[in-house]
Amino acid sequence: RVAAIHLPSSREEKQSRAQDVLPPVSLATIAALTTGPISLACAEAASAAAVPASVAAALKVLPPACFFFLQVSGLKTVAQIKKDKTTGNLSALPFLSLATNCIVWSLYGGLLSDPTVFFPNFTGALFGLYYSKVFLQYSPTSIVPQVLTCGAIVAGCAGMAATLPVAEAAPYIGYTGCTLAVILMASPLATMATVIKDKSTAAMPFVTSLATFFNASAWFSYGYLVAGDPIIWGPNAMGLGAAVVQLSLFAKYGIHSPKKAE
């Protein structure tokens, strides 16, 4: 007697190879790129690096705190804008990207019913909308095209959230948030040409650049040392690099207050 031997079909071989090469990635892992807090589900799903428990515990608390610092960092700049009644040479991108980024991640957190993603980004959206409103009110030049672009991004994500099943909408919204998170951290560089030309950092808010540095550092450390997830630390490494460039400009040219538009 010859024992029957099961030969896997070509479809089974492809599935087996795919499982070996592409490990499953949860939706929570996609959410991890946001500059806001990361849910515990992502931390538990990722392979953690061997770090002391006290360090790991601190790195789970520090990133959300740094993100809140980033949110409120615009208050001083906005107060100066209202006092001067002009935005001077400042760029609207940091404020608009904060609002857009946080609205998109609020939608994502709402889809997954994850309060650790939703609530911090909801507060960030409120700050971003307030900053953008003040900027729009006192800007000597029109920023309507930028506002419309941000509105289109939000409308697109909201439309997907309202019409598609969660399993289909969440990845698209999550990856959109990933892109926006990088733009948010690099947004102060929008005025880098002006800074170099004028040899003055008046067009680049120092507090926002400093907050970006701490925020990106915290999330990079968490993603690399605790979560062991390149989806987290990779983009934040780019944000950290952008923040270092910003701070190097302050080191070279000094810290200056925004100039009034002539």
What would the pLDDT profile of 80-121 be if each residue is shown by its tens digit?
Answer: 999 999 998 888 998 999 999 899 989 988 888 877 678 888
Residue 258 DSSP label: P
Single-letter amino acid, residue 148: L
What is d(CA 155, CA 104) in angstroms, rounded to the nearest whole number?
9
Ramachandran bin of 88, using left for φ above 0, alpha for ψ from -120 to 50, beta for the remaining angles: left
pLDDT tens column, 51-63: 788 888 888 888 8
- Would you say 195 and 249 are in contact if contact means Cβ atoms under 8 Å apart? yes
Residue of 75, 72, 35 lying closest to 186 (CA atoms): 35
Residue 97 CB neighbour total at 10 angstroms: 25
What whole-number distance in Å separates Cα of residue 212 and Cα of residue 247? 10
Residue 4, pLDDT score: 46
Q: How high is the mean pLDDT of the chain?
A: 80
- CA neighbor of 38 nearest in space, from 190, 228, 260, 176: 228
pTM: 0.69
Local structure of residue 205 (DSSP, 8 states): -
> Which amino acid makes up residue 218?
A
* pLDDT for the residue numbered 24: 44
User: How high is the pLDDT of residue 114?
Assistant: 76
Query: Do 189 and 245 touch, CB atoms closer than 8 A?
Result: yes
Q: How many other CB atoms are there within 10 angstroms of residue 149's CB atom?
A: 12
Scored b (16 or more CB within 10 A) or e, 188-218 reads bbbbbebbeeeebbbbbbbbbbbbbbbbbbb
Q: How far apart are CA 160 and CA 119, in angstroms?
A: 20
CB of 82 within 8 A of CB of 90? no
List, for the chain, all residue ranges whose pLDDT scores fall below the cut of 50.
1-5, 14, 18-49, 261-262
